[in-house]
């Protein structure tokens, strides 16, 4: 049976689609809802709680009932509104929230039990027996809850983001919006106009009057070079300072989207002014069983007829409290339907051939999966009449949400019978047209609840009835906020577009409080639901964050290195040789080779900051806890940096290349935050100092060359005398390689061996790494990665990130003496707070024959593994190939007393309880002789 009686405004091109397994035909330009109605498919869904049969209620995105799932697998999109889904050839949609089928839904039993399932019933029960909530009740509730289903397969679509700037953002492409856009464009302003629908024209498209005026304005608009028209684009949020978010649907209406075309685009629009021209949408009246398929908003009935050419029924009742109902009556009559007009008001301008009942109301409906009749009450008398469709005109809700996104509350306008924007609008925004309450046909009287039994649905999707509202009020949930949360009114996918105004009206009617004093809940973005994929954009998979590659990445890849992610960096963690099958083999070998011969490691990722200026030394003296004023030119010094609260922030080195030129290093993790901090000290605390800072982390590739043969190796590549006499421990120099490549050389050591760090401009890094290993072959040079780097520094007892955990002080690290007390430096004062200064926690070493796990806690022998007995924790651990046993470093209190004693490193998570010996953390060469060779 077809309800399509004309081409409407969409033409006659046929399109095939599938709904719940049934092949159907629609027209190009249809919404899925229109096509379903044209095919007389009225039953399209089931309500959330009671699983009542539901049909299409509205025309647009405010639709609460007709939610379907479109697509499958990687394109399965649940909770799609049939009213906004444009039809395309081959579209496949299924209904939701029903089992086993839409017609026979087992959970419709909930409807029979509705008296027990009133609002808030679950707060009063499900408490006994105690274990049943999680094992029985909640799983049942969860299975019944929700609407559509995700496929659990990766979303196959791509999404994109864009940024736009304009002088005026016009939100809404109806008459008011078009006029505003043209006015601004003629003043020379750059205009963006966003329209949710696929076509401009707004409410005029859905009226019977010819579109000549609109069409000519649209033509003018599209021809104007100052106006960017964005259709299928919904402005979703009004954010601070004229920033708006908007989403364009690019491919959801296409049968065959271009491969890789972004499904949707998220726009950030920066605009000095905004004009909200979003119009208004109609609302329902509350009467018993007002939710049957076939009951629709009057303007929707009219719209389906005039735009889509679909007649809601051969026999229609129009029920309203508003003049606007007359338009529906007229259009239905002209389309050949039998029409009855029920009006709550005392009189109205009648329509020829239409039976009218004034001072009357519809109080009930009948029919199971579709409407078959309505009950009318007029002056105490009640009677039923048959009909196929009921069009309800309950008044207008201006679409004001965006105007209230910045905390402004709407105000009730008794004249228009709707909520209009208040005085507190987002700066730069004005509201025009029916969104502001204008042009809404007058002669309205407030009609909220005319139900007899209270089985009148106020929030259709969440099944909130008049009875629920009354019960909530009776139980003391009287504020509109409590009402919303207790009953879930306004919390469905339409976010109260259908429910809120009606609910407030019903509450006002029954409590006696005026609508003004009832008030509203807050409006929040997004205006309509937005795909999470669209908000994420291109940051998918490997592109979630950038990958930073070191200069020697290519070398490492060719050498078959294993890589580790450190922040956003990819660093070589070890370089397995052919035949090595376990990482320990490679790492142990690399660590041994460094201490016995020489190894090369890419340390580019450590932060590098160039500090220049007459006051450079003074500046470093302020940011480091130890002194730098007297650092000789050509020397490097370890630098301890505290936070202002006295806790250790970072450590590194500062090398004085010239009187007014230092190069500072930081840990990899803190490269950015140290630089930020230094700029803070300079610009905010000491702007009078003549110093300039530049981050050079990415400008220089830097390699550690470490081991007893490191001098030999480095001497082969640098054009500088690096004998111990000429270039002693901690020396530094700006120099060059033997081929003239500029270079910087620092004699510093993280491993505790004789070592250098050699830096060249980044673009030469990869080839330098190659060259060093090539030239060092006869010396036994190997590349080493972060794992061996870690083993070496733990063997030496150097603190690193794990020890600098943001809670430890210089004192805890055994570096208390480094904090100079006679000069001002960041953190010195607060480091002297009592509990910090009195702390007995110290960095120590641990040795064991068994593996010690990082993250273990230390407990004395014989004591139970409980917090009260813990002495400290293990911060870094490894196997030491140089010592032939397991070692670790960590912190314990009363360290002095415990030195050389035994205790246990316990990891309850792993069931590990390991005997350890407490020793100095400097396992290898504690006197530092090898450094000075």
The rounded distance, in Å, linking the Cα atoms of 597 and 592 is 8
Q: How far is the CB of 908 from other proteins (least distance, A)?
A: 4
Establish if 77 lies at the interface with other proteins (CB under 8 A).
yes
Least CB distance to other proteins at residue 207 (A): 31
The full length of the chain comes to 933
Residue 503 binds to other proteins (criterion: CB under 8 A): no
479 binds other proteins (CB under 8 A): yes
Q: Is 141 in the site for other proteins (CB under 8 A)?
A: yes
Pick between residue 467 and residue 744 the one whose CB is nearest to other proteins: 467
Query: What is the nearest approach in angstroms of other proteins to the Cβ of residue 328?
Result: 31
Element housing 249 (H / E): strand 243-249
- For other proteins, the binding residue among 541, 579, 862, 884 (CB under 8 A) is 541
Q: Does 187 bind other proteins (CB under 8 A)?
A: no
Among 248, 493, 668, 702, binds other proteins (CB under 8 A): 493
Which part of the chain contacts other proteins (CB under 8 A), choosing from 50-58, 650-658, 700-708, 849-857? 849-857
Q: Which residue's CB is nearer to other proteins, number 180 or number 528?
A: 528
257 binds other proteins (CB under 8 A): no
Cα separation, 785 vs 573, in Å, equals: 4
Stretch that binds other proteins, among 281-289, 433-441, 558-566, 759-767 (CB under 8 A): 558-566
Q: Which range, of 280-288, 376-384, 595-603, 834-842, touches other proteins by CB under 8 A?
A: 834-842
DSSP state of 731: B
Q: Which is nearer to other proteins, 149 or 366 (CB)?
A: 149
Q: Is 381 exposed, middle or buried (0-12, 13-18, 19+ CB in 10 A)?
A: exposed
Contacting other proteins within 226-245 (CB under 8 A): 237, 239-243, 245
The verdict on 266 binding other proteins (CB under 8 A) reads yes
8 A C-beta contact, residue 466 and residue 483: no
Q: Considering CB under 8 A, how many residues would be counted as binding other proteins?
A: 136
* Strand runs labelled E in 369-462: 373-378, 381-386, 389-393, 396-398, 411-413, 418-420, 429-431, 457-459
Interacting stretch for other proteins, rule CB under 8 A, among 85-93, 133-141, 286-294, 336-344?
A: 133-141
The single residue among 583, 638, 729, 873 that binds other proteins, judged by CB under 8 A, is 873
- Member of 22, 142, 381, 630 binding other proteins (CB under 8 A): 142
Residues numbered 711-770 forming contacts with other proteins, rule: CB under 8 A:
none
Three-state secondary structure readout of 106-122? HHHHHHHCCCCCCCCHH
Choose which of 257, 446, 529, 634 interacts with other proteins (CB under 8 A): 529
The distance of closest approach from Cβ of residue 363 to other proteins in the complex, given in angstroms and rounded to an integer, is 19
Q: How many CB atoms lie within 10 A of CB 468?
A: 28
| Residue 118 vs 328, nearer CB to other proteins | 118
What DSSP line would sit under 59-121, residue for residue? SSTT-SS-EEEES-GGG-EEEEETTTSB--TTEEEEE-S-SB-SSSBGGGHHHHTTTTS-TTG
Pair 904, 860: CB distance under 8 Å = yes
Name the packing angle between helices 710-717 and 765-775 (round to 10°). Answer: 120
**Is the N-terminal amide bond of 681 cis, ω within 30° of 0?**
no
- Which residue's structure tokens are 């990722």? 605
Three-state DSSP state, 210: coil
Cis peptide before 100 (omega within 30 of 0): yes
CA distances from 466 to 57, 455, 781 (A): 19, 7, 83
Candidates 106, 109, 726, 837; binder of other proteins (CB under 8 A) is 837
* 22 part of the interface to other proteins, by CB under 8 A: no
Binding-site member from 31, 39, 65, 76 for other proteins (CB under 8 A):
76
- Smallest gap from Cβ 194 to other proteins, in A, equals 16
Give the residue with the Cβ less far from other proteins, 107 or 330.
Answer: 107
Nearest distance from C-beta of residue 541 to other proteins, angstroms: 4
Residues 687-725 as b/e (b if ≥16 CB within 10 A, e otherwise) read: eebebebebbbeebbbbbbbbbbbbbbbbebbebebeee
Complex with other proteins: residue 414 or 539, whichever CB lies closer: 539
Token couple for 360: 């009357």
Nearer to other proteins, 252 or 388 (CB): 252
C-alpha dist (Å) from residue 451 to 337, 435, 538: 27, 29, 51
Which two three-digit tokens encode residue 431? 């509201």
Q: How far is the CB of 522 from other proteins (least distance, A)?
A: 8
Return the residue of 510, 610, 661, 680 that touches other proteins, per CB under 8 A.
Answer: 680
Residues 6+ apart with CB under 8 A from 267: 161, 162, 163, 164, 230, 233, 244, 245, 246, 247, 248
Task: Out of 446, 533, 816, 926, name the contact with other proteins by CB under 8 A.
Answer: 533
Of 391 and 530, CB closest to other proteins: 530
Binder of other proteins out of 1, 14, 100, 115 (CB under 8 A): 115
Using the rule CB under 8 A, which residue among 39, 434, 488, 586 binds other proteins?
488
Cβ closest to other proteins, residue 237 vs residue 294: 237
Q: Classify residue 749 as exposed, middle or buried by CB count within 10 Å of its CB (0-12, 13-18, 19+).
A: buried
Site for other proteins in 790-829 (CB under 8 A): 801-802, 805-807, 824, 828-829
Window 616 to 675, contacts with other proteins (CB under 8 A):
643-647, 649, 672
Residue of 257, 373, 428, 537 interacting with other proteins (CB under 8 A)? 537
CA angle at 914 for the pair 912 and 917, rounded to the nearest 5°:
155
477 binds other proteins (CB under 8 A): yes
In the range 147-186, which residues lie near other proteins by CB under 8 A?
147-155, 157, 159, 161
């Amino acid at each position: 049976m077809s309800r399509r009686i004309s081409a409407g405004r969409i033409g006659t091109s046929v399109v095939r689609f599938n709904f719940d397994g049934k092949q159907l035909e629609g027209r190009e330009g249809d919404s899925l809802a229109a096509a379903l109605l044209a095919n007389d498919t009225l039953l399209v869904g089931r309500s959330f709680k009671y699983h009542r049969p539901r049909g299409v209620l509205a025309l647009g995105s405010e639709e609460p009932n007709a939610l379907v799932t479109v697509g499958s697998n990687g394109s399965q999109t649940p909770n799609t509104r049939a009213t906004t889904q444009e039809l395309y050839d081959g579209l496949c949609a299924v209904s939701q929230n029903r089992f086993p089928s839409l017609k026979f839904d087992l959970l419709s039993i909930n409807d029979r039990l509705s008296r027990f399932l009133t609002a808030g019933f679950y707060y009063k029960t499900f408490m006994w027996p105690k274990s049943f909530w999680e094992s029985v009740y909640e799983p049942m509730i969860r299975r019944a809850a929700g609407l559509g289903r995700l496929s659990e397969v990766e979303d196959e679509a791509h999404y994109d983001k864009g940024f736009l700037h304009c002088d005026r953002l016009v939100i809404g492409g109806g008459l008011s919006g078009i006029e505003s856009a043209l006015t601004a464009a003629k003043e020379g302003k750059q205009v963006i106009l966003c329209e949710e629908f696929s076509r401009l024209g707004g409410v005029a498209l859905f009226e019977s009057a010819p579109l000549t005026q609109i069409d000519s304005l649209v033509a003018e608009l599209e021809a104007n070079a100052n106006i960017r028209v964005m259709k299928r684009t919904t402005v979703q949020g009004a954010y601070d300072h004229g920033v708006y978010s908007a989403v364009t649907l690019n491919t959801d209406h296409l049968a065959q989207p271009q491969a890789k075309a972004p499904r949707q685009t998220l726009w950030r629009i920066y605009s000095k002014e905004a004009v909200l021209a979003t119009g208004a949408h109609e609302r329902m009246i509350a009467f018993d069983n007002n939710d049957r398929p076939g009951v629709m908003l009057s303007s929707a009935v009219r719209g389906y007829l005039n735009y889509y050419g679909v007649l809601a029924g051969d026999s229609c009742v129009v029920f309203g409290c508003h003049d606007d109902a007359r338009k529906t009556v007229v259009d239905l009559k002209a389309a050949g339907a039998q029409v009855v007009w029920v009006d709550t008001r005392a009189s109205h301008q009648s329509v020829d051939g239409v039976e009218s009942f004034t001072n009357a109301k519809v109080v009930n409906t009948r029919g199971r999966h579709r409407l078959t009749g309505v009950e009318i009450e007029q002056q105490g008398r009640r009677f039923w009449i048959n009909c196929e469709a009921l069009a309800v005109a309950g008044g207008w809700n201006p679409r004001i949400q965006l105007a209230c996104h910045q905390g402004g509350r709407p105000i009730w306008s008794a004249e228009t019978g709707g909520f209009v924007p208040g005085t507190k609008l987002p700066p730069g925004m004005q509201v025009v047209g029916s969104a502001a309450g204008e042009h809404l046909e007058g002669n309205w009287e407030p009609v909220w609840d005319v139900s007899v039994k209270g089985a009148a649905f106020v929030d259709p999707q969440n099944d909130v009835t008049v009875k629920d509202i009354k019960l909530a009020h009776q139980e003391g949930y009287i504020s509109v906020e409590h009402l919303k949360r207790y009953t879930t009114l306004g919390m469905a996918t339409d976010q109260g577009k259908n429910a809120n105004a009606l609910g407030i009206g019903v509450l006002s009617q029954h409590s006696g409080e005026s609508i003004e004093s009832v008030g509203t809940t807050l409006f929040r973005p997004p205006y309509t639901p937005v795909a999470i994929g669209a908000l994420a954009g291109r940051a998918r998979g490997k592109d979630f964050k950038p990958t930073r590659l070191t200069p020697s990445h290519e070398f490492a890849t060719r050498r078959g290195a294993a890589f580790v992610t450190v922040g956003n960096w990819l660093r070589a963690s070890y370089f397995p040789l052919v035949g090595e099958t376990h990482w320990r083999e490679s790492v142990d070998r690399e660590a041994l080779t460094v201490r016995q011969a020489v190894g090369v490691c890419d340390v580019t990722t450590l932060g590098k900051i160039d500090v220049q200026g007459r006051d450079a030394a003074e500046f470093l003296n302020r940011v480091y806890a130890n002194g730098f004023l007297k650092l000789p030119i050509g020397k490097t010094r370890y630098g301890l940096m505290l936070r202002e609260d006295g806790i250790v922030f970072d450590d590194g080195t500062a090398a004085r290349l010239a009187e007014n030129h230092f190069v500072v290093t930081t840990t990899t993790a803190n490269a950015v935050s140290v630089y930020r901090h230094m700029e803070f000290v300079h610009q905010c605390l000491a702007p009078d100092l003549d110093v300039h800072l530049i981050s050079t982390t990415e400008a220089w590739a830097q390699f550690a060359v470490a081991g007893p043969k490191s001098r030999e190796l480095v001497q082969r590549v640098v054009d500088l005398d690096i004998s111990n006499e000429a270039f002693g421990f901690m020396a530094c120099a700006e120099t060059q390689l033997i081929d003239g490549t500029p270079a910087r050389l620092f004699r510093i050591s993280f491993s505790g061996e004789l070592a250098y760090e050699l830096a060249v401009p980044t673009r030469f890094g990869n080839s330098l790494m190659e060259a060093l290993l090539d030239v060092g072959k006869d010396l036994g040079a190997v590349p080493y990665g972060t794992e061996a780097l870690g083993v070496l520094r733990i063997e030496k007892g150097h603190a690193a990130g794990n020890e600098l955990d943001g809670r430890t002080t210089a004192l805890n690290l055994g570096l208390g003496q480094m904090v100079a007390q006679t000069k001002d430096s960041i953190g010195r004062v607060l480091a002297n707070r009592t509990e910090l200064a009195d702390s007995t926690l110290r960095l120590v070493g641990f040795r064991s024959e068994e593996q010690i796990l990082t993250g273990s806690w230390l407990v004395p022998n014989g004591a139970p593994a409980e917090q009260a007995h813990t002495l400290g924790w293990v911060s870094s651990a490894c196997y030491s190939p140089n010592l032939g046993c397991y070692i670790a470093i960590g912190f314990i209190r009363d360290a002095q007393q415990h030195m050389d004693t035994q205790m246990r490193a316990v990891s309850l998570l792993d069931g590990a309880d390991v005997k350890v010996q407490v020793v100095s953390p400097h396992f290898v060469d504690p006197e530092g002789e090898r450094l000075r060779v």
